[in-house]
Amino acid sequence: MPKTTKEEYQNKAEAKAAFMELLDDASIPIDFSWEKCMTRIAIDARYGALNSLGEKKQCFHEYLDKKKIQIKEENRLREMKAKDDFVKMLEDNTDLTSNMRYFKAIPLISDDSRFGAVTKEKVREELFEDYMRDLAKKEKLRERQERKDAMEGFEALLRVRGC
């Protein structure tokens, strides 16, 4: 609810904080011009928190810069989560093998919402290829271990039989 009575502020920092709060409460989009912004916020008493138009404009531009950084960080975190979820989806899918190609795997994974969360095809393909390389390494290690265990078992059997 907009405040309609003028408030007194102890110092410039408090007045600037009140003006920033006004911009935030008004949900000013990052593509707004100063003129458009003024039409939305001028009726609120916090508009008068800063005395000069220059201070108000400067605060407005600081607000936009902070908002752009915040949005960029939120998008970065959302993309990271989408990538992590995509890899988790690949791990969860038991039909995938290390020698499978991306375009052969698409029918197996494209129905999952985590597939579409990564919006760029090239990124999806790179994540898939990275996962397949890791899967191939794990399969080779498992095969080596199985072969080693089999040899040890065979040697133990030969010792038991006295060969």
**CA gyration radius for the chain?**
30
Q: What is the 3-state secondary structure (H, E, C) of the chain?
A: CCCCCCCCCCCHHHHHHHHHHHHHHCCCCCCCCHHHHHHHHCCCHHHHHCCCHHHHHHHHHHHHHHHHHHHHHHHHHHHHHHHHHHHHHHHHCCCCCCCCCHHHHHHHHCCCHHHHHCCCHHHHHHHHHHHHHHHHHHHHHHHHHHHHHHHHHHHHHHHHHCC
Instruction: Report whether 9 contacts 50 (CB < 8 A).
Output: no
d(CA 107, CA 128): 14
Report pLDDT digits (tens) over 69-110: 999 999 999 999 999 999 999 999 988 888 999 999 999 999
CB atoms within 10 A of CB 75: 10
Task: State the pLDDT at residue 5.
Answer: 47
Residue 64: how many other CB atoms lie within 10 Å: 18
pLDDT at residue 4 greater than cutoff 70: no
Please tell me the pTM assigned to this model: 0.68
Segment 127-135 shows an average pLDDT of: 94
The residue whose two tokens read 């939305």 is 40
The pLDDT score that the predictor gives to residue 6 is 54
